A = this chain, B = another copy of it.
Amino acid sequence: MKVGLFGFGRAGKAVATVLLQSEEAHLCWVIRKSKVLQHRSVPEFLGIKGDGDEQGLIFPKDEWTPEQLFDKYPVDVVIDFSSAKAVLSYGEEAAKRGIAIVTTISTYPAETVAFLKGLSRKTRVLWSPNITIGINFLMLTAKILKTIAPYTDIEVIEEHFKNKKEVSGTARKISELLCLRDIDIKSVRAGGIVGRHEIIFGFPFQTVRLIHESITREAFGNGALFAAKSIVDGKNGFYSMEDVLIPYFNLK
């Protein structure tokens, strides 16, 4: 699976690291805003030994038109960790060629969402602001347990580093999904905790705890890779991370 990556900020770098070390993907290029690092390669920059082939070339975003880029360096899937605007430039060309698109941008304006849905008639488009496998798995799992045991009390504890201001978006999404009240989310802010989410199910005589701990942002990489693999050869359409996980839940 040949992959092109948009975005080379902190998350983008982490994703590139994972892609380069994976045997299931070949990272062809990275498009970044600034001209710094132009024409260097990701393996060289990150000090990772690549697989021999030319890979991970870093281009500033204005060096090529999407058409030139996809002609010269064809890929099967594009992963987008850049900005809400990026897809507007490359989306049409990618969809035309049937290149799958995985985007993790937090928020898109309504018209960009409509644009993405338009693209999804011609290719596979997956949009998920939180792309880690663990969190998405936990959310589906919690939804199931609530259906099995609707009488349980559910509370969410989310822990993050001191300076994180608002309640975590992930906790809010969990809360929404499980129809919890705002006060059922407890936010702990302490020191340098990277990120920890715990969903507690209080049964009368037993307790179930579903916990996700982030170690580093490279977790996004594994999630993006999983998402890419899941849709690269699939049916055209508009997907969420949940959509590609749900088939694994259909036991027997």
Contacts and interface: CB of A to CB of B under 8 A. Distances in A.
Contacts of A137: 144-145, 148, 208
14 contacts: A18-B205, A137-B145, A141-B141, A144-B251, A191-B201, A191-B206, A191-B215, A192-B204, A192-B207, A193-B202, A193-B215, A204-B215, A206-B215, A208-B213
A248 B192 contact: no
Interface in A223-252: 226, 245-246, 248-252
A204 B212 CA distance: 13
Interface of A: 14, 18, 132-134, 137-138, 140-141, 143-145, 147-149, 152-155, 157, 159, 161-162, 186-194, 200-219, 221-222, 226, 245-246, 248-252
Contacts of A189: 153, 155, 202
Given A134-B206, A208-B211, A148 B192 contact: no
Of A14, A152, A200, A207, chain B has the most CB atoms within 10 Å of the CB of A207
Contact of A246 (B14, B161, B186, B252): B252
Nearest to A185: B186
B208 A248 contact: no
Given A18-B205, A190-B200, A192-B215, 18 more contacts: A133-B206, A134-B203, A134-B208, A144-B248, A152-B191, A153-B189, A153-B191, A157-B157, A161-B202, A186-B186, A190-B207, A191-B201, A193-B215, A203-B219, A205-B214, A206-B222, A209-B210, A250-B251
Contacts of A145: 137
A188 B148 CA distance: 21
A133 B203 contact: yes
A172 to B, nearest CB: 16
A250 B147 CA distance: 11
Given A149-B133, A248-B148, A219 B191 contact: no
